[in-house]
Amino acid sequence: MEQSKSILMCTPNSVQVTHVFDIFGYSKHRGMDNEKFIRSGTFSVGGHDWSIRFYPDEYNTEKVEKDYVSVYLERMSKGAKVRGSCDLRLVDHSTGISASVHKTELRTFDPADLKTVPKIEVPVPPSDIAEHLGKLLKDDEGFDVTFCVRRKTIGAHRSILAARSPVFKAELFGPMREAKTPRRVTIKDMQPDIFTALLHFIYTDSLPDGDKNTDMIRHLLVAADRYAMERLKLACQSILCENLNVDTVATTWALADQHSCDKLRDACLEYIAYSNAMDAVVETPGYKNLKVTDPSLIVDLLERTTKVRNA
């Protein structure tokens, strides 16, 4: 009897597609409600339609604070079950080279539940913009304006200064600027180290490392008020509040009054009222100087201190 053999082979149909999803203005999407997302356009793979959901802030129903973004691959079309996997890659715009950050295992996409899809969490590192801008200032790269401060020349970038201070913006770009774009600006009534600390804050949003002595912080507060930099002004007030003592409180009170620092002024009043230090304060050089230069401010200080005590 003649015998025959038949061989059957089953080869799964496998399709691979690369889909590029560009998100412009990414930083502007941060801080969205964590249930809001950005959806890519629909693309086809293996005869099925797909899209990408991108959550700029961690998507979770428990509202847990995490520094993550979330990415979902979503099947858009109906039909039979489909098995698939995806490899999430981020592209470095400066080099055009992509690197894999997460690759899923093969899994089933059930048409009965189209939105049950693989979730990919990408850790977002802390912002390093201050580090890069600080390096830009330190390395003297691309300066387009020079400041003369007590015979010392200090370079900077006009656009960065204008973005951080409305006063610098008016001086360097506004109608009050010189007919020709100023390349050299003289800064009066300020020490070079104070102006350098001001620039450091403008570029890094932080104070320079090192000894933040009270006298330096007072001068920096004056500079912050001069250039309408409210965050720096508040930072200086906070440091001065923490360092109030009998010797400094009268001078700090006068500074707070001159530059409309209400929180700092209140702190001085409370320090004198609740520490019962008035007798010691009146013997300090700062109080005696204030008594000569602005007696009305002394009267105001005494009246307000009495009100605080009696409150």
What is the tens place of the pLDDT at every residue in 245-267?
888 888 898 899 899 998 898 88
Whole-number pLDDT of residue 119 = 55
Answer yes or no: pTM beyond 0.75: no
pLDDT score, position 114:
45
Residue 268 lies in a domain: no
Give the pLDDT band of residue 161 (cuts 50, 70, 90).
very high
Q: Quick check: is 59 in a domain?
A: yes
Q: Is 72 contained in some domain?
A: yes
Q: What is the average pLDDT across 173-193?
A: 78
**Residue 95: which domain range?**
26-123
Give me the pLDDT at residue 106, please: 80
Query: Rounded to the nearest 5 degrees, what angle is found at the Cα of 277, between the Cα atoms of 271 and 279?
Result: 145
Tally of domains within the chain: 1
Is the predicted pLDDT of residue 56 greater than 80, yes or no?
A: no
Q: Is residue 206 included in any domain, yes or no? A: no
Structure-model confidence comparison of residues 307 and 188, the more confident one: 188
pLDDT of residue 238: 93
Say what angle helices 214-226 and 192-204 make with each other, to 10 degrees. Answer: 70
What pLDDT was estimated at residue 290? 77
Q: ∠ at Cα 296 (293, 300), nearest 5°?
A: 125
Q: Is residue 36 part of a domain?
A: yes
Task: Please state, in angstroms and rounded to a whole number, the distance separating the CA atoms of residues 54 and 66.
Answer: 16
**Radius of gyration of the chain from Cα atoms?**
32
Give residue 9's pLDDT band: very low, low, confident or very high (50, 70, 90).
low
Q: Is residue 260 part of a domain?
A: no
Domain-embedded: residue 3: no
With respect to residue 68, please indicate whether it lies within any of the assigned structural domains: yes
pLDDT at position 61, please? 45
